[in-house]
Chains A and B, each alone.
Chain A
Amino acid sequence: AQSVTQLGSHVSVSEGALVLLRCNYSSSVPPYLFWYVQYPNQGLQLLLKYTSAATLVKGINGFEAEFKKSETSFHLTKPSAHMSDAAEYFCAVSQDDKIIFGKGTRLHILP
Protein backbone atom coordinates (compact mmCIF):
# COMPACT_ATOMS: atom_id res chain seq x y z
CA ALA A 1 0.00 0.00 0.00
CA GLN A 2 1.13 3.50 -0.79
CA SER A 3 1.76 6.03 1.95
CA VAL A 4 3.41 9.37 2.52
CA THR A 5 5.15 10.71 5.60
CA GLN A 6 5.23 14.41 6.29
CA LEU A 7 8.02 15.47 8.61
CA GLY A 8 6.87 18.07 11.11
CA SER A 9 3.24 18.65 11.98
CA HIS A 10 3.99 22.36 12.45
CA VAL A 11 6.52 24.55 10.66
CA SER A 12 7.11 28.23 11.38
CA VAL A 13 8.96 30.58 9.06
CA SER A 14 9.39 34.31 8.98
CA GLU A 15 7.71 36.34 6.28
CA GLY A 16 10.09 36.53 3.32
CA ALA A 17 12.02 33.42 4.35
CA LEU A 18 12.29 30.13 2.49
CA VAL A 19 9.48 27.65 2.98
CA LEU A 20 10.43 23.96 3.03
CA LEU A 21 7.85 21.30 3.80
CA ARG A 22 9.08 17.74 3.75
CA CYS A 23 7.40 14.66 2.34
CA ASN A 24 8.66 11.13 1.77
CA TYR A 25 6.71 8.47 -0.05
CA SER A 26 6.94 4.71 0.24
CA SER A 27 6.98 2.96 -3.09
CA SER A 28 9.41 1.28 -5.43
CA VAL A 29 7.52 2.59 -8.45
CA PRO A 30 7.26 6.36 -8.83
CA PRO A 31 3.59 7.12 -8.36
CA TYR A 32 1.68 10.27 -8.94
CA LEU A 33 2.41 12.68 -6.10
CA PHE A 34 0.54 15.75 -5.01
CA TRP A 35 0.63 18.70 -2.70
CA TYR A 36 -2.68 20.15 -1.57
CA VAL A 37 -3.33 23.22 0.58
CA GLN A 38 -6.23 23.69 2.97
CA TYR A 39 -7.30 27.01 4.45
CA PRO A 40 -9.44 27.01 7.62
CA ASN A 41 -12.90 25.50 7.16
CA GLN A 42 -12.28 24.95 3.46
CA GLY A 43 -11.77 21.99 1.20
CA LEU A 44 -8.43 21.08 -0.31
CA GLN A 45 -6.93 22.93 -3.26
CA LEU A 46 -4.37 21.33 -5.55
CA LEU A 47 -1.01 23.14 -5.45
CA LEU A 48 0.88 20.89 -7.83
CA LYS A 49 1.30 17.30 -8.96
CA TYR A 50 4.08 15.08 -10.19
CA THR A 51 3.23 12.78 -13.09
CA SER A 52 6.74 11.69 -14.20
CA ALA A 53 6.96 14.32 -16.94
CA ALA A 54 9.52 16.40 -15.05
CA THR A 55 11.18 16.04 -11.67
CA LEU A 56 10.82 19.73 -10.81
CA VAL A 57 7.17 20.65 -10.68
CA LYS A 58 5.92 24.20 -10.50
CA GLY A 59 2.59 24.95 -8.92
CA ILE A 60 0.37 27.83 -8.03
CA ASN A 61 1.22 30.69 -5.66
CA GLY A 62 4.96 30.38 -6.30
CA PHE A 63 5.32 26.87 -4.86
CA GLU A 64 7.37 24.12 -6.43
CA ALA A 65 8.37 20.59 -5.52
CA GLU A 66 11.19 18.33 -6.63
CA PHE A 67 10.77 14.60 -7.08
CA LYS A 68 13.88 12.70 -5.96
CA LYS A 69 13.60 8.98 -6.59
CA SER A 70 16.86 8.18 -4.83
CA GLU A 71 15.55 9.79 -1.65
CA THR A 72 11.87 8.85 -2.17
CA SER A 73 11.13 12.49 -1.43
CA PHE A 74 8.83 15.18 -2.81
CA HIS A 75 9.55 18.26 -0.72
CA LEU A 76 7.59 21.47 -1.24
CA THR A 77 9.40 24.80 -1.38
CA LYS A 78 8.72 28.48 -1.88
CA PRO A 79 11.54 31.04 -2.00
CA SER A 80 9.80 33.77 -0.01
CA ALA A 81 6.96 33.19 2.42
CA HIS A 82 3.94 35.45 2.49
CA MET A 83 1.44 35.85 5.29
CA SER A 84 -1.25 34.44 3.02
CA ASP A 85 0.67 31.12 2.84
CA ALA A 86 -0.39 30.27 6.39
CA ALA A 87 -2.44 27.09 5.98
CA GLU A 88 -2.35 23.31 6.27
CA TYR A 89 -0.41 21.50 3.56
CA PHE A 90 -0.94 17.87 2.62
CA CYS A 91 1.35 15.62 0.65
CA ALA A 92 -0.48 12.81 -1.12
CA VAL A 93 0.16 9.80 -3.33
CA SER A 94 -2.01 7.97 -5.81
CA GLN A 95 -3.02 4.39 -5.12
CA ASP A 96 -5.16 2.54 -7.63
CA ASP A 97 -8.02 4.88 -8.44
CA LYS A 98 -7.72 7.16 -5.42
CA ILE A 99 -5.39 9.39 -3.42
CA ILE A 100 -3.87 8.70 -0.01
CA PHE A 101 -3.03 11.73 2.11
CA GLY A 102 -0.39 12.41 4.70
CA LYS A 103 -1.24 13.81 8.10
CA GLY A 104 -0.46 17.35 7.07
CA THR A 105 1.89 20.14 8.07
CA ARG A 106 0.55 23.40 9.42
CA LEU A 107 2.59 26.32 8.15
CA HIS A 108 2.82 29.38 10.40
CA ILE A 109 4.17 32.64 9.03
CA LEU A 110 5.85 34.93 11.54
CA PRO A 111 5.72 38.70 10.87
Chain B
Amino acid sequence: DTGVSQNPRHKITKRGQNVTFRCDPISEHNRLYWYRQTLGQGPEFLTYFQNEAQLEKSRLLSDRFSAERPKGSFSTLEIQRTEQGDSAMYLCASSLQTGAYGYTFGSGTRLTVV
Protein backbone atom coordinates (compact mmCIF):
# COMPACT_ATOMS: atom_id res chain seq x y z
CA ASP B 1 0.00 0.00 0.00
CA THR B 2 1.78 3.08 -1.27
CA GLY B 3 -1.04 5.49 -0.58
CA VAL B 4 -2.73 7.77 -3.08
CA SER B 5 -0.32 9.09 -5.70
CA GLN B 6 -0.86 12.23 -7.75
CA ASN B 7 1.18 13.45 -10.70
CA PRO B 8 2.51 15.93 -11.41
CA ARG B 9 2.98 17.67 -8.07
CA HIS B 10 3.20 21.07 -9.71
CA LYS B 11 2.08 22.32 -13.11
CA ILE B 12 2.54 25.77 -14.57
CA THR B 13 0.69 26.42 -17.78
CA LYS B 14 -0.23 29.32 -19.98
CA ARG B 15 -3.80 30.47 -20.16
CA GLY B 16 -5.68 28.64 -22.88
CA GLN B 17 -3.61 25.46 -22.72
CA ASN B 18 -4.99 22.06 -21.78
CA VAL B 19 -3.68 20.19 -18.75
CA THR B 20 -4.18 16.67 -17.46
CA PHE B 21 -3.58 15.35 -13.97
CA ARG B 22 -3.34 11.74 -12.90
CA CYS B 23 -4.37 10.05 -9.68
CA ASP B 24 -3.49 6.51 -8.64
CA PRO B 25 -5.65 5.45 -5.68
CA ILE B 26 -4.92 2.79 -3.10
CA SER B 27 -5.21 -0.41 -5.09
CA GLU B 28 -8.20 -2.01 -3.38
CA HIS B 29 -10.20 1.21 -3.08
CA ASN B 30 -13.15 1.33 -5.45
CA ARG B 31 -14.16 4.93 -4.81
CA LEU B 32 -12.12 7.84 -6.10
CA TYR B 33 -12.78 11.53 -5.45
CA TRP B 34 -11.53 14.80 -6.93
CA TYR B 35 -11.53 18.06 -5.01
CA ARG B 36 -10.31 21.57 -5.74
CA GLN B 37 -8.77 23.77 -3.09
CA THR B 38 -8.08 27.46 -3.59
CA LEU B 39 -5.94 29.57 -1.30
CA GLY B 40 -7.44 29.98 2.13
CA GLN B 41 -10.39 27.71 1.43
CA GLY B 42 -11.38 24.19 2.27
CA PRO B 43 -11.45 21.49 -0.38
CA GLU B 44 -14.48 21.68 -2.67
CA PHE B 45 -15.97 18.52 -4.11
CA LEU B 46 -15.72 18.16 -7.89
CA THR B 47 -16.66 14.59 -8.79
CA TYR B 48 -16.36 10.97 -7.76
CA PHE B 49 -16.22 7.48 -9.20
CA GLN B 50 -17.24 4.07 -8.03
CA ASN B 51 -15.02 1.78 -10.04
CA GLU B 52 -15.23 3.17 -13.58
CA ALA B 53 -18.64 4.82 -13.17
CA GLN B 54 -18.75 8.56 -12.56
CA LEU B 55 -21.57 8.86 -10.03
CA GLU B 56 -21.72 12.56 -9.25
CA LYS B 57 -20.42 15.82 -10.65
CA SER B 58 -20.49 19.16 -8.88
CA ARG B 59 -21.73 22.24 -10.67
CA LEU B 60 -18.18 23.50 -10.10
CA LEU B 61 -17.14 21.06 -12.82
CA SER B 62 -17.69 23.22 -15.88
CA ASP B 63 -17.74 21.94 -19.44
CA ARG B 64 -13.99 22.57 -19.65
CA PHE B 65 -13.37 19.92 -17.00
CA SER B 66 -13.56 16.20 -17.63
CA ALA B 67 -12.64 13.27 -15.45
CA GLU B 68 -12.25 9.63 -16.33
CA ARG B 69 -11.46 6.38 -14.63
CA PRO B 70 -11.42 4.01 -17.59
CA LYS B 71 -10.53 0.73 -15.92
CA GLY B 72 -11.62 1.50 -12.41
CA SER B 73 -8.04 2.01 -11.28
CA PHE B 74 -6.25 5.32 -11.96
CA SER B 75 -8.13 8.48 -12.87
CA THR B 76 -7.38 11.54 -14.94
CA LEU B 77 -8.71 15.06 -14.62
CA GLU B 78 -8.39 17.23 -17.71
CA ILE B 79 -8.93 20.96 -17.91
CA GLN B 80 -9.32 22.43 -21.37
CA ARG B 81 -8.62 26.05 -22.27
CA THR B 82 -7.31 26.86 -18.82
CA GLU B 83 -8.17 30.17 -17.20
CA GLN B 84 -6.39 32.00 -14.39
CA GLY B 85 -9.30 31.13 -12.11
CA ASP B 86 -8.40 27.47 -12.49
CA SER B 87 -5.24 28.03 -10.45
CA ALA B 88 -5.67 25.84 -7.39
CA MET B 89 -4.59 22.66 -5.67
CA TYR B 90 -6.35 19.64 -7.14
CA LEU B 91 -6.71 16.86 -4.61
CA CYS B 92 -7.52 13.23 -5.21
CA ALA B 93 -8.75 10.84 -2.54
CA SER B 94 -9.88 7.24 -2.40
CA SER B 95 -11.88 5.02 -0.10
CA LEU B 96 -12.68 1.33 0.19
CA GLN B 97 -16.34 1.76 0.93
CA THR B 98 -18.53 4.80 1.01
CA GLY B 99 -16.57 7.99 1.31
CA ALA B 100 -18.82 8.92 4.20
CA TYR B 101 -16.49 6.90 6.42
CA GLY B 102 -13.48 9.00 5.38
CA TYR B 103 -10.92 9.14 2.64
CA THR B 104 -7.20 8.85 2.11
CA PHE B 105 -5.87 11.88 0.25
CA GLY B 106 -2.98 12.25 -2.13
CA SER B 107 -0.53 15.12 -1.88
CA GLY B 108 -2.29 17.06 -4.60
CA THR B 109 -1.34 18.75 -7.85
CA ARG B 110 -0.81 22.49 -7.67
CA LEU B 111 -1.85 24.20 -10.89
CA THR B 112 -0.72 27.71 -11.71
CA VAL B 113 -2.17 29.34 -14.82
CA VAL B 114 -0.16 32.32 -16.04
Q: Do these two chains really belong together in a complex?
A: yes
Q: Which residues from chain A sit less than 8 Å from chain B, CB to CB?
A: 9, 31-32, 34, 36, 41-46, 49, 51, 90, 92, 94-104
Q: Which residues from chain B sit less than 8 Å from chain A, CB to CB?
A: 4, 6, 31, 33, 35, 40-45, 48, 50, 55-56, 91, 93, 98-108, 110
Cβ of B110 and Cβ of A99 under 8 Å apart?
no
In the assembled complex, the Cα of A99 lies from the Cα of B95 at a distance in Å of 11
Cβ of B48 and Cβ of A9 under 8 Å apart?
no
Cβ of B100 and Cβ of A99 under 8 Å apart?
yes
Cβ of A98 and Cβ of B33 under 8 Å apart?
yes
Cβ of A45 and Cβ of B105 under 8 Å apart?
yes
**Nearest CB in chain B: distance from A52 CB, A:** 12
Cβ of B107 and Cβ of A42 under 8 Å apart?
yes
Which residues does chain B contribute within 8 Å of A41, judged by CB atoms? 107-108, 110
* Most chain A beta-carbon neighbours within 10 Å: one of B6, B91, B101: B101
Cβ of A32 and Cβ of B100 under 8 Å apart?
yes
Cβ of B4 and Cβ of A43 under 8 Å apart?
yes
The chain A residue with its CB closest to the CB of B100 is A94
Nearest first, the 5 closest Cβ-Cβ pairs linking A and B are A101-B42, A94-B100, A43-B105, A44-B105, A43-B107
Which residues does chain B contribute within 8 Å of A45, judged by CB atoms? 105
Which residues does chain A contribute within 8 Å of B106, judged by CB atoms? 43
Q: Which of A46, A90, A97 is in CB contact (< 8 Å) with B100?
A: A97
Cβ of B108 and Cβ of A42 under 8 Å apart?
yes
In the assembled complex, the Cα of A92 lies from the Cα of B91 at a distance in Å of 15
Which residues does chain A contribute within 8 Å of B48, judged by CB atoms? 97-98
Which residues does chain B contribute within 8 Å of A95, judged by CB atoms? 100
Cβ of A100 and Cβ of B100 under 8 Å apart?
no
Cβ of B42 and Cβ of A97 under 8 Å apart?
no
Cβ of B102 and Cβ of A43 under 8 Å apart?
no
